Amino acid sequence: MRTDYCGFIDAKYLNQTVTLYGWVHRRRDHGGVIFIDLRDREGIVQVVCDPDNGVAFEIAESIRNEFVLEVIGLVRHRPPGTVNPNLVSGEVEVLVQSIEILNSSLTPPFLMDDENLSEAVRLEHRYLDLRRPEMQANLRLRYRVAMAVRTFLDQRGFIDVETPTLTKSTPEGARDYLVPSRVNIGHFFALPQSPQLFKQLLMVAGFDRYYQITKCFRDEDLRADRQPEFTQIDIETSFLNETQIMAMMEEMICQVFKSAVNVDLPCPFPRLTHADAMSLYGSDKPDLRVPLVLTELTDVMKDVEFKVFREAAHWPGGRVAALRVSGGGTLSRKEIDDYTSFVAIYGAKGLAYIKVNVLEKGLEGLQSPILKFLPETAVKVILERTGAKDGDLIFFGADKARVVNEALGALRAKVGHDRGLAEPGWKPLWVIDFPMFERDEEENRWKALHHPFTSPADGHEDLLETDPEKALSKAYDMVLNGSEIGGGSVRIHRTEVQSKVFRALNIGPDEAQEKFGFLLEALQYGAPPHGGIAFGLDRVVAMMAGTESIRDVIAFPKTQRAQCLLTHAPSAVGEKQLRELHIRLRHAQTAKA
């Protein structure tokens, strides 16, 4: 039997005979003595094959990288000058007594410590990529996070309950992944975008506190922080209000960070209303490490000569705002042009600016192509409101508020990090008081900002029918370093309120009954006040690991084209399978039987 993992062999095993199993990380032949770095999930230990042991030495000569070995040997001190302080096993080595090749290996397409690998190669050979120490560490971190969550919730009376993977399609959010039913011809299941409705039903059922670390599925365009299937820490509880839920979840996240990565998050988290977040940061998930803020100028620009500013200031829902970049006066014309191209991604048609060279010289101390279109009084207000100083640069956004917020919000974060203005560490916060609805311009109707089961804020129930644009909700998002890591709300637990929300969303009684009839019926049987939250496990672990992509913390992820390069999924299926499901393909190539 194995004595211990390779990475745990240290001075406590001196002069002991140990049995080890692992993979050959590297083999070195030094003047007749063969050194093997034997690797397992816990690390590496150096194995020495002496030519005096003829049988073992002969076997060692045939060994290559990634062979699987059983090694039995004596633990001894490394010779002076060869100690490796970077390894737990760095003070010792194992002198081989016997060695057995349990399996050979082809020459791998890359070395396990290669740092310059293309992601395509890594994903195509994911079973090898997962052998690399970095990936081993990431998945072990993921395990620690999940265990810390389970421990916290278990200690507070939460029960792990599984909810269905095959469920009903309710396309109110992202697109569903549909699963055809062979038994019920022409009908489809959907893979769950979240267990939202089922966890509410569990509250109606009286379980009081539920959680689940579960897979969710969304057929949407992918980015580095999104996958078609992702893992959610799903939580629901009864008889707690939003303040109490947030306090408990804040405590959980603080404990998880401390347990998993020994980080003390700054508690309590600050709270920022959605309105203030959009006004100051242009984002409902602001990165508070960046000290830059937006300055409101819409009222100042209504009578200026500059048409771009003036028109935006008069549009319903228009906005003119400024972003002062401390020390930004050193930006070159090319850098400004690059930032102009960057904000164009978010729909901005340009990026006006003013360089503040010498403030006390007034207009003569400023540099900008738009100054001639702005009255001196407006310029003075701009400088006063932004708090501009010598050497600063002021960027401007003027358009619909949505475009200005998205463009300047993204620019704020990018400039802050590019210019070294971002503070180190972790900056969590809660964003609260979200609007109930946002306008869908294409369909000319309101849609739920979070989901249609979110409770309106106290005193805002009547606004659902009289002025839905002003209705706020009992929703809350946990944000960390510019990423939303969790979102939740108090739910609607009374049928009449849920019906008002459906009417505001232009969901008629028949449609509501068809899509959500089982929930509406359940609410009539003594549904308790309840609420919850869901955290993105992949995203949290990726942030802890310091990786840009959540694919680096998922064992077998999909690409940005929603493909698995390892298994070549999705793939065509045979005609026989299609016939069994009563499906005929319209535009795809004919599937091979």
- 538 labeled binding residue: yes
Q: Is 409 annotated as a binding residue?
A: no
Write the CA distances from 333 to 24, 355, 364, 400, integer angstroms.
Answer: 54, 11, 19, 26
Q: Are 261 and 153 in contact (CB under 8 A)?
A: no
For residue 225, give Cα distances in angstroms to 48, 123, 175: 44, 16, 17
**DSSP output for 478-500:** EEETTEEEEEEEEBP-SHHHHHH
Is 61 assigned to a binding site? no
Phi, psi dihedral angles at 395 (to 5 degrees): -95, 155
172 annotated to bind ligand = yes
Containing 397, the helix (H) or strand (E) segment is strand 393-400
SS3 380: helix
Would strands 92-103 and 159-160 be described as parallel, antiparallel, or unpaired?
unpaired
Residue 469 annotated in ligand binding: no
Whether 493 has a binding-site annotation, put simply, is no
Read off the DSSP letter of residue 529.
P
Residues 72, 16 contacting (CB under 8 angstroms): no
Q: Is 305 annotated as a binding residue?
A: no
**Measured distance CA(436)–CA(475) in Å, rounded:** 8
* Burial (Cβ within 10 Å: 0-12, 13-18, ≥19) of residue 29: exposed
> At what angle are helices 333-344 and 401-418 packed, to 10 degrees?
140
Q: Please list, residue by residue across 274-286, b when 16 or more beta carbons sit within 10 angstroms of its beta carbon and e when fewer do.
A: beebbbbbbbbbb
Contacts of 95 (CB under 8 A, 6+ apart): 48, 50, 73, 74, 75, 76
227 known ligand binder: yes
Whether 536 has a binding-site annotation, put simply, is: yes
Return d(Cα 373, Cα 214) in angstroms, integer. 57
Is position 218 annotated in a ligand binding site?
A: yes
Binding-site residues for L-aspartate: 172, 218, 450, 491
Binding site membership: which residues?
Answer: 172, 218-220, 227, 450, 484, 491, 536-539
Binding site, annotated residues for ATP: 218-220, 227, 484, 536-539
